[in-house]
Chain A
Amino acid sequence: MASNDMIKLVTRAPASRRQFLIGAGTALAGMTLGAPAIAQSKELTIISNIGNASQREVLQRIASAYEKESGVKVAINNMDHEAHKTAIRSYLVVGAPDICFWFSGNRMKAFVQRELFDDISDLFARENYKSVLGPAAGAVTVDGRQYGLPLGGLLWGLFYRKDVFEEKGWTPPKRLEDLLTLGEKAKSAGMIPVSMGTKEMWPAAGWFDHMNLRINGLDKHMALMDGKMSYTDPAMLPVFDKWAELINAGLFSPNGTSFGWEQAAAALAQKKAAMMDLAGFIKYGFPESQQDQIAFAPFPEIIQGMARYEDFALNSIHVPKNAKNKENARDFLAYFYKPDNLAAFLETESAVPPRNDCPPSKDPLVNAAVESLKTVEGSAQYYDRDTDPDMAQEGLKGFQEFMAKPDRRDQILERLETTRKRIFKA
Chain B
Amino acid sequence: MSTFWRNHRHWMAPTLFIMPGALLFAVVIILASAQTIWVSFFDWDGVGAKQWVGLANYAQLLDDPQFHVSLKNNLIWLAMFMLAPPLGLALALLLNQPIRGMRVMKSLFFVPLVLASVTVGVVFTWVYDPTFGLLSLIFSSFGATAPALLSDEHFVTFAVVVAALWPQVAFCLVLFLAGLNNLSEDLIGAGRVDGARGWPMLIHVILPQLREVSFIALAVTVIGALRSFDMVAVMTSGGPFGSSTVLAYQMYEQSIFSYRFGYGAAIATVLFVIMAVFIAWYLHTLLKPEREGV
Contacts and interface: CB of A to CB of B under 8 A. Distances in A.
User: Is there a contact between chains A and B in the complex with CB atoms less than 8 Å apart?
Assistant: yes
Contacts of A254: 130, 148
Contact of A5 (B48, B151, B182): B182
Contact of B256 (A5, A85, A200, A398): A85
Contacts of A200: 237
A125 interface: no
A397 interface: yes
Interface string B102-141: 0000000000000000000000000011100000000000
B157 to A, nearest CB: 14
Interface string B24-41: 000000000000000000
Q: Say whether chain B's binding surface is mostly helix, strand, loop, or mixed.
A: loop
Q: Say whether chain A's binding surface is mostly helix, strand, loop, or mixed.
A: helix
A370 to B, nearest CB: 33
B127 to A, nearest CB: 12
Contacts of A201: 237, 239
Given A401-B241, A415-B65, A93 B47 contact: yes
Contacts of A415: 65
A181 interface: no
A343 to B, nearest CB: 33
A55 to B, nearest CB: 24
Interface string B60-97: 00000100000000000000000000000000000000
Among A258, A397, A400, chain B packs the most CB atoms within 10 A around the CB of A258
A401 B128 CA distance: 20
Interface string A179-200: 0000000000000000000111
B189 to A, nearest CB: 13
A199 B237 contact: yes
A398 B241 contact: yes
A255 interface: yes
A1 B184 contact: yes
Nearest to B48: A114
Interface in A80-124: 85-86, 89, 92-93, 110, 114, 116
Contacts of B257: 85, 389-390, 393
A256 B148 CA distance: 9
Contacts of A92: 47
Contacts of B129: 258
A76 interface: no
B258 interface: yes
A64 interface: no
Contacts of B182: 5
B45 interface: yes
Nearest to A204: B241
Contacts of B241: 257, 397-398, 400-401, 404
B191 interface: no
Contacts of A5: 182
Interface of B: 45-48, 65, 128-130, 148, 150-151, 153, 182, 184, 186, 236-237, 239-242, 253, 256-260
Given A85-B256, A89-B259, 19 more contacts: A5-B182, A92-B47, A114-B48, A116-B47, A198-B240, A199-B236, A199-B237, A199-B239, A201-B239, A255-B148, A257-B150, A257-B240, A257-B241, A258-B128, A258-B151, A389-B257, A390-B257, A394-B258, A400-B240
